[in-house]
Amino acid sequence: MKIFSDALVAEAASASNVADISHATIGETLLMAQYLEQKTGIPFIRMDQGSPGLPANRYGIEAEKRALDSGIGSQYPAAAGVPDLKKAASDFVKAFMDIDVSPRSCVPTVGSVAGSFGAFIACCQRDPSKDKVLFIDPGFPIQKSQLRVLGISWKEFDIFPYRGEALRAKLEDELKSGDIAAIVYSNPNNPAWISLEEDELAIIGELATKYDAIVMEDLAYFAMESRRDLSHPYKAPFVRTVARYTDNYILMLSSSKIFSYAGQRMALVCISDKLFERHFPAFVERYHDSGIFGATFTASIQYMITSGATATTQYGYAEMLRLSCEGKINFVEDTKEYAIRAKKMKKIFCDNGFTITYPKDVNEEIGDGFFFSLSYPGMSGSELVRELICYGVSSINLDTTGSLQQGVRACTSRMREELYPVLEERMRQFKEDHDA
């Protein structure tokens, strides 16, 4: 028996101004879950919003306090960022990725969302013949919403049938028209938690160079790939990255998940030094500036969006990065809780008839972490979203992420120990009702 009737769910949708439950955004799903909880007092299993479920890193907090006490709150932050953060970012990329990026090329942004917004503008304005973005899906829906705001067109494909060497032909087919300005993906992936392997990253890098497309690599879940120990600075194994295979890259490093610092909206855009220094006549014509990619991105584009990132938060982020490089913060160990939750949650779902929609990275089972994907036999993603809400479980339809597979995204961040038996009971009932 359903916990929430179809009529009550419809009431929640109406009250939350949700036109289509099966394709609701993350924010709309959140509002519906809150409405049902408040109306009935029955707790939801919240798998919708990817908000950190761990305490903010205390070293960052203390460093921010010290910075504010020093009096910097009265000064505007420089668009390029405070030197401490730029140096720490360069060291961090070297320590955990074994990639050399100079401090100059590391630019703080107000979260990765602001970073990608500015990067989309820069990538698509640098060359008039390159005016589209290519998404390797599934991916973060907000990035396509940004392109709608900007009026930029995009292409997309679901990577599900194109893993391994099969990616080469598909990617080349998308790039050969010559109009792709940027290639975007997250690694590990939001929503499916797949991780691109070295051979796949080499293919992306090789073709990005061949067709002069800039790879925007979203590393929001940096080193949270549970199958390898990535916690030791300056020691292999290092975090996988396309930066080994092309100079056409922009790395987006957010503090939100790895340091649970989401409320402070702090991230970094780390641009390859060669790309940072490239000259584009189209920038000169539009902005009347130097035409240098990094300078235009920082001063002519990003500054117009945010007027610089909050100075105190930059010092907080710098401290967390610095201590990570020194081995005094083990952010990989700190975030393992998400993998523990994912393992428990996946077992409950799979024991009750569900399957993992994206189960493998080429030949290896996906790891456990912040997200995973779920399908149920005979149900579309739209049907599954609606049915799970009736059983007190909120999620989002995979088709809102560019996926062509039938299923939903599950997030582990809001799971609590006392909710596992609740989830188990609800999914047992779900199976009984749908196998009847």
Average pLDDT over residues 154-171: 98
- Closest by CA to 124, choosing from 93, 151, 143, 144, is 151
pLDDT band of residue 51 (cuts 50, 70, 90) is confident
Compute and round to an integer the Cα radius of gyration of the chain.
22
pLDDT band of residue 412 (cuts 50, 70, 90) is very high
> What span, in angstroms and rounded, lies between the C-alpha atoms of 370 and 193?
8
Give residue 260's identity as a one-letter amino acid code.
S
Angle at CA of residue 3, ends 422 and 43, nearest 5°: 50
User: Cis (ω within 30 of 0) for the bond into 237?
Assistant: yes
Supply the pLDDT for residue 128.
96
- Closest by CA to 96, choosing from 239, 227, 258, 224, is 239
Q: Phi and psi of 21, rounded to 5°?
A: -60, -40
Q: Report whether 267 contacts 256 (CB < 8 A).
A: yes
Average pLDDT over residues 362-389: 95
pLDDT band of residue 436 (cuts 50, 70, 90) is low
Average pLDDT over residues 225-251: 96
- Answer yes or no: pTM beyond 0.85: yes
| Residue % of the chain over a pLDDT of 90 | 90
Q: What is the CB-side half-sphere exposure of residue 150 using CA atoms within 13 A?
A: 25
Which of the listed CATH numbers 3.30.420.40, 3.40.50.850, 3.90.1150.100, 3.40.50.10140 matches domain 6-54+333-435?
Answer: 3.90.1150.100
Give 199-224 pLDDT, tens digit per residue: 999 999 999 999 999 999 999 999 99
Least confident of 48-52, 261-265, 430-434: 48-52
pLDDT band of residue 225 (cuts 50, 70, 90) is confident
Give 381-394 pLDDT, tens digit per residue: 999 999 999 999 99
Give 115-136 pLDDT, tens digit per residue: 999 999 999 999 999 999 999 9
> What span, in angstroms and rounded, lies between the C-alpha atoms of 201 and 167?
10
Least confident of 45-49, 81-85, 329-333: 45-49
Supply the pLDDT for residue 22.
82
**Domain parsing of the chain, residue ranges:** 6-54+333-435, 58-325
Average pLDDT over residues 335-352: 97
Supply the pLDDT for residue 370.
96
Q: Report whether 66 contacts 315 (CB < 8 A).
A: yes
User: How much is the mean pLDDT over the chain?
Assistant: 95
Would the pLDDT of 325 be above 70? yes
Average pLDDT over residues 382-411: 94
Using CB atoms within 10 A of its CB, is residue 40 exposed (0-12), middle (13-18) or buried (19+)?
middle
Average pLDDT over residues 262-291: 97
Supply the pLDDT for residue 49.
81
> What span, in angstroms and rounded, lies between the C-alpha atoms of 193 and 404?
16
CA 422 centroid distance within chain: 29
> What span, in angstroms and rounded, lies between the C-alpha atoms of 175 and 215?
12
Would you give the DSSP letter of residue 390?
A: H
Tokens 């199958």: give the residue.
227
> What span, in angstroms and rounded, lies between the C-alpha atoms of 195 and 160?
12
Query: What would the 3-class secondary structure string for 56-113 be?
Result: CCHHHHHHHHHHHHCCHHHCCCCCCCCHHHHHHHHHHHHHHHCCCCCHHHEEEECHHH
58-325 placed in CATH 3.40.50.1970? no
Would the pLDDT of 435 be above 90? no
